[in-house]
Chains A and B, each alone.
Chain A
Amino acid sequence: METSKPPRQRETQDRRREGIVSEVEGFNERGRGAVRDQELHDSVSLFTNKAVAARNAVLHALPEAPELRDRAYHIKQETMANLDRYLEQMAEAVEARGGNVFFAKDGEDAVRYVGDLARRKNAKVITKSKSMATEEIELNHRLEEDYADLDLEIVETDLGEWIAQLAGDTPSHIVGPILHMNRRRVAEVLSGAAGEEMPPDVQALGTFARKRLREKFLAADIGITGANFGVAETGTIATITNEGNARLVTSVPPVHVVVMGIEKMIPRFEDLSVFVQLLGRSGTGQKITVYTNFVTGARGEGELDGAEEFHLILLDNGRSKLLGTEFEEALYCIRCGACLNVCPVYRQTGGHAYGSTYSGPIGAVITPLLKGTKEAKDLPHASSLCGACWEACPVGIPLHDLLLKLRNRQVEEGVRGKGETLAFKGFENTMKSPALFKISGKVGRVAQKPLVRDDSVRPLPGPLSAWTNSRELPPLAEKSFREIWKEGI
């Protein structure tokens, strides 16, 4: 053991800072780097294999799972068709329970609301439980920059999120934010926070984290959470966690702020029975997670717990423009992460290759939809369209079909290269004409002659090198099937 040495801080890119300009153009390039990173590959494999096995086991043990999935889809469909009404109902219910409701058009709106609130409350410490919506709007970073004078200490309290925060990193998975880090790397990061070297021992690291986070929970002036579900009927916010940190974030500080994407809405309290059964099973392979919290408004008279002040921020940030479009199903997502775990692309690259808050198939779908299709041009192509995502989705979102539609949207918007556009025009013309198709085959056979060796086409320059750099290319056969057929089989 090299305990005498000071803790070594590995050079890491500060993805949190870089995130502002989210380079979503380069999936190919980032993917190339990722597939060569054996440590990353091992970490991602370990997590995804376990998650998939656990999910399969627990879903197979639930015979009504297909019916639940179907119900979930239809509940979401009905919700989106009437979202305006449900949002209003939710707002009224929250206000009736002494809460405040704010509709945020975008991230900027939401950040301003939280920042101004922190100023009014003279807040110093803010605790947060894991929330992808606040990652999406880069809430922590924006508060630190735009409200620098408040000198806020914002602390993530989900263990993985906290480690990511300490490392200047961003989550690489919706449910397992630091699955890309192994135990040794976690020990490095926590050693940095502790100011002394800590061994990569789970017990020791956990004890340190618990002690440090407890101090923050007790010192917090404001607690911020996301919402797994928002119930329109009752104004209830559901948070589904395994660490219990959300409970301490919502009940200890005097002020509780919820940042909820508007698509997290469900109409009725009883609908939770459908979604809670699906979420834990799909996300982590648990029948139910360790903590299932329901918070309805501020602490009422005679109630023993809950924040004195309750603020619900309903975040749009590009979501409402999908309503009523062919992409509406993207809003049905409950952020379980199952599509990431089964995705053969994600399993090779991990989440950071997507260069966006949301990774995997759902990230490849919603990133261009929320940011604009000209923004994340590579992401709809970061898929072999195998459909494993659709199969795993507990709400039945046809993710691979949405990716196809996004690719088509790019063509319609004219953002694809001229070369590719011409190539497919040529493809169409060739395939519409049997004569041309036959001739192309014959020409190809002659042209390939000098290149064929040992039943394989020699590595080619130009666009086909993308194939031949790593794989053998079979030559065209000496006779096509149609020629053999003509001669007689």
Chain B
Amino acid sequence: MRVALFVPCYVDLINPEVGVSVVRVLRRLGVEVVYPEGQTCCGQPAFNSGFFDEARGVARHFLDVFERERCDYVVCPSGSCTTMVAHYYPFIFKEQPEVRERSEVVGHRVREFSDFLVNVLGTRDLGARYEGKAVFHTGCHQRRELGKLEEPRELLSNVEGLELLGWRNEELCCGFGGTFSVKMPDVSTAMADEKIRALEESGADTLISGDSSCLMHLKGRLRRTNHDTRVYHLAQILDGNFGKAG
């Protein structure tokens, strides 16, 4: 099994430890991992802001890079960036059948990390340990466009010492929404506060997600409001790599 790693731009620059954990977990499972170095970003920031032409420019670059890579799957530690490629590339190339077809071919190979582990490799238990009570935040793309709700939970349920708690209105968005977080900062922050209230009520000491962007938002608000909740990406928990909190 040969996998091309798709590391979202903000993970590359801000949370590289998440990418490192993904590599280590995959290798532990006997997967050959390659990292196409020409990769940059999937184009989602431009797309979400309505700049479709600019997003198409970036998307074409993405397709060029990943089409060249000989691999069985493209694996990405983000439900959101996976959705951009698998779901929204065909959407923005609707009028360009040739590119659309290319995007569909690549899109079929792209898998979100937990989806790949559970549904492709059939792995549910990585033998990981973590001491703590955690809530899991499912990113909205992961929840609704990808519909992969159970996979991360299954993986976490097999982590020794980790108690996975439910939390109130867990389906609510964290309020990040890309440029939404700076266009509507007050509403965005109020949305984070609602999540944080639910987190407090749950009694959890750890917040886990499969999307570093949601975590950046929630952690940014948690720290500003003096919460010391531990914050990790799913890959870090499965890897047992807690050197630096995600």
Given the complex of chains A and B, what is the CA–CA distance between A476 and B16 in angstroms?
A: 9
Contact present for A387 and B184 (CB under 8 Å) = no
Contact present for A467 and B220 (CB under 8 Å) = yes
Taking a contact as CB atoms closer than 8 A, the residue among A384, A466, A476 that contacts B177 in the complex is: A384
Chain A residues whose CB sits within 8 angstroms of the CB of B51 once the complex forms = 408, 411, 421, 424, 428
Contact present for A444 and B57 (CB under 8 Å) = no
Contact present for A471 and B224 (CB under 8 Å) = yes
B130 CB–A CB distance under 8 Å: no
B34 CB to nearest chain A CB (Å): 10
Contact present for A428 and B54 (CB under 8 Å) = yes
Given the complex of chains A and B, what is the CA–CA distance between A489 and B221 in angstroms?
A: 31
Given known contacts A384-B140, A407-B50, A424-B46, is B221 in contact with A471 (CB within 8 Å)? Answer: yes
Given the complex of chains A and B, what is the CA–CA distance between A30 and B183 in angstroms?
A: 13
Given the complex of chains A and B, what is the CA–CA distance between A411 and B187 in angstroms?
A: 23
Q: Tell me the residues in window 20-58 of chain B with beta carbons closer than 8 Å to chain A beta carbons.
A: 20, 23-24, 35, 37-41, 43, 45-55, 57-58
Given known contacts A35-B186, A390-B144, A489-B20, is B13 in contact with A476 (CB within 8 Å)? Answer: yes
Q: Tell me the residues in window 42-96 of chain B with beta carbons closer than 8 Å to chain A beta carbons.
A: 43, 45-55, 57-58, 60-61, 91
Contact present for A384 and B54 (CB under 8 Å) = no
Chain B residues whose CB sits within 8 angstroms of the CB of A348 once the complex forms = 187, 190-191, 194
Chain A residues whose CB sits within 8 angstroms of the CB of B145 once the complex forms = 387
Given the complex of chains A and B, what is the CA–CA distance between A385 and B13 in angstroms?
A: 24
Query: Chain A 424-449, CB within 8 Å of chain B: the 1/0 string?
Result: 11011011111001000100100000
Contact present for B41 and A349 (CB under 8 Å) = no
Q: Give the nearest-CB partner of A384 in chain B.
A: B177
Contact present for A464 and B177 (CB under 8 Å) = no
Chain A residues whose CB sits within 8 angstroms of the CB of B50 once the complex forms = 380, 404, 406-411, 416
Contact present for A477 and B14 (CB under 8 Å) = yes
Contact present for B219 and A480 (CB under 8 Å) = no
Contact present for A474 and B48 (CB under 8 Å) = no
Contact present for A35 and B20 (CB under 8 Å) = no
Chain B residues whose CB sits within 8 angstroms of the CB of A35 once the complex forms = 186-187, 189-190
A50 CB–B CB distance under 8 Å: no
Chain A residues whose CB sits within 8 angstroms of the CB of B39 once the complex forms = 434
B107 CB–A CB distance under 8 Å: no
Of the candidates A409, A425, A428, A463, the one having the most CB atoms from chain B within 10 angstroms of its own CB is A428
Given known contacts A408-B50, A481-B19, is B191 in contact with A431 (CB within 8 Å)? Answer: no
A159 CB–B CB distance under 8 Å: no
A27 CB–B CB distance under 8 Å: yes
Contact present for B173 and A344 (CB under 8 Å) = yes
B7 CB–A CB distance under 8 Å: yes
Q: Tell me the residues in window 13-59 of chain A with beta carbons closer than 8 Å to chain B beta carbons.
A: 27-28, 31-32, 34-36, 49
A138 CB–B CB distance under 8 Å: no
Given known contacts A384-B173, A477-B15, is B189 in contact with A482 (CB within 8 Å)? Answer: no
Given known contacts A27-B184, A489-B24, is B61 in contact with A431 (CB within 8 Å)? Answer: yes
Interface residues of A, count at CB 8 A = 69
Chain B residues whose CB sits within 8 angstroms of the CB of A411 once the complex forms = 49-53
A458 CB–B CB distance under 8 Å: no
Chain A residues whose CB sits within 8 angstroms of the CB of B140 once the complex forms = 384-388
Contact present for B220 and A472 (CB under 8 Å) = yes
B11 CB–A CB distance under 8 Å: yes
Chain B residues whose CB sits within 8 angstroms of the CB of A34 once the complex forms = 187
- Contact residues of A: prevailing secondary structure: helix
Contact present for A471 and B192 (CB under 8 Å) = yes
Contact present for B180 and A432 (CB under 8 Å) = no
Chain A residues whose CB sits within 8 angstroms of the CB of B20 once the complex forms = 481, 484, 489
Taking a contact as CB atoms closer than 8 A, the residue among B37, B144, B184 that contacts A391 in the complex is: B144
Q: Tell me the residues in window 149-180 of chain B with beta carbons closer than 8 Å to chain A beta carbons.
A: 169, 171-173, 175-178, 180
Given known contacts A404-B48, A474-B216, is B13 in contact with A381 (CB within 8 Å)? Answer: no
Contact present for B40 and A381 (CB under 8 Å) = no
B119 CB–A CB distance under 8 Å: no
Of the candidates B13, B169, B187, the one having the most CB atoms from chain A within 10 angstroms of its own CB is B187
B178 CB to nearest chain A CB (Å): 8
Contact present for A28 and B186 (CB under 8 Å) = yes
A382 CB–B CB distance under 8 Å: yes
Taking a contact as CB atoms closer than 8 A, the residue among B35, B60, B61, B191 that contacts A384 in the complex is: B191
B147 CB to nearest chain A CB (Å): 10
B125 CB–A CB distance under 8 Å: no
A479 CB–B CB distance under 8 Å: yes
Q: Give the nearest-CB partner of A444 in chain B.
A: B13
Q: Tell me the residues in window 409-424 of chain A with beta carbons closer than 8 Å to chain B beta carbons.
A: 409-411, 416, 420-421, 424
Of the candidates B16, B50, B188, B192, the one having the most CB atoms from chain A within 10 angstroms of its own CB is B50
Contact present for B16 and A480 (CB under 8 Å) = yes
Chain B residues whose CB sits within 8 angstroms of the CB of A78 once the complex forms = none
B104 CB–A CB distance under 8 Å: no
Q: Give the nearest-CB partner of B50 in chain A.
A: A407
A24 CB to nearest chain B CB (Å): 14
Contact present for B11 and A481 (CB under 8 Å) = yes
Given the complex of chains A and B, what is the CA–CA distance between A483 and B17 in angstroms?
A: 12
A148 CB to nearest chain B CB (Å): 40
Given the complex of chains A and B, what is the CA–CA distance between A481 and B191 in angstroms?
A: 30
Contact present for A480 and B12 (CB under 8 Å) = yes
Q: Tell me the residues in window 237-258 of chain A with beta carbons closer than 8 Å to chain B beta carbons.
A: none
Chain A residues whose CB sits within 8 angstroms of the CB of B48 once the complex forms = 385, 404, 407
A401 CB–B CB distance under 8 Å: yes
Chain B residues whose CB sits within 8 angstroms of the CB of A473 once the complex forms = 220
Chain A residues whose CB sits within 8 angstroms of the CB of B49 once the complex forms = 407, 411, 420, 424
A-B contact pairs, 18 of them (CB 8 A): A28-B187, A49-B169, A345-B191, A347-B172, A348-B187, A348-B191, A381-B183, A381-B184, A385-B48, A385-B140, A387-B141, A387-B143, A388-B140, A428-B57, A471-B192, A477-B13, A477-B17, A482-B7
**Which chain A residues have a beta carbon within 8 Å of chain B's beta carbons?**
27-28, 31-32, 34-36, 49, 344-345, 347-349, 380-388, 390-391, 401, 404, 406-411, 416, 420-421, 424-425, 427-428, 430-434, 437, 441, 444, 456, 463-464, 466-467, 469-477, 479-485, 489
Q: Closest 4 A-B residue pairs measured CB to CB?
A: A407-B50, A384-B177, A471-B220, A386-B173
